[in-house]
Amino acid sequence: MLFRLVEKTLNYARKKSPWFLHLDTGGCNGCSIELFAVLNPRYDIERFGGLSKANPRHTDILLIDGAVTKKIRPRLERIYQQTPEPKVVVAVGSCAISKGIFHDAYNIDGPLDKIMPVDVYIPGCPPKPEAILQGVMKALQLWEEKHE
């Protein structure tokens, strides 16, 4: 009985404060700086309880942008495995969704959904901060559902 109560409180607390991990896997930084712009006072993701963390073991939502280069692929897979369930993977930008303008480059591995299951796609090159916010909101909804 007590255990159920504790579990319910923890779940409620977790839902209200999702932690993000942002990884740039070989893009031009355009998506990265728009993601950082989402942190700053004008677009402000912190009002939704979101916090950007660097440790995969503490994160709930993975924000991945960039076309995956061959050199970074093993690290990317390891980060995915180190993130605990339930987790939501968000592919930000054209490069993560479909390799974008680098589709026939020699150093790029497949788009992100060939490497890991992706839950939310945010298109754009780079997507506007408003679009990123909308995508992250969708990710939060999905994540709350996964908690049920």
Asked whether position 75 contacts another protein by CB under 8 A, the answer is: yes
Q: Which helix (H) or strand (E) holds 139?
A: helix 129-147
C-alpha torsion angle, residues 98, 102, 104, 110 (rounded to 10) = -40
Dist CA 111 CA 10 (whole Å): 35
Site for another protein in 20-39 (CB under 8 A): 21-34, 36-37, 39
Dist CA 135 CA 144 (whole Å): 14
Asked whether position 102 contacts another protein by CB under 8 A, the answer is: yes
- Shortest spacing between CB 28 and another protein, in angstroms: 4
- Shortest spacing between CB 79 and another protein, in angstroms: 7
Contact 126, 34 (CB under 8 A): yes
Which region among 2-10, 72-80, 112-120, 133-141 touches another protein (by CB under 8 A)? 72-80
Point out which residues bind another protein (CB under 8 A).
21-34, 36-37, 39-42, 52-56, 66-67, 69-73, 75, 79, 100-102, 104-108, 125-126, 128
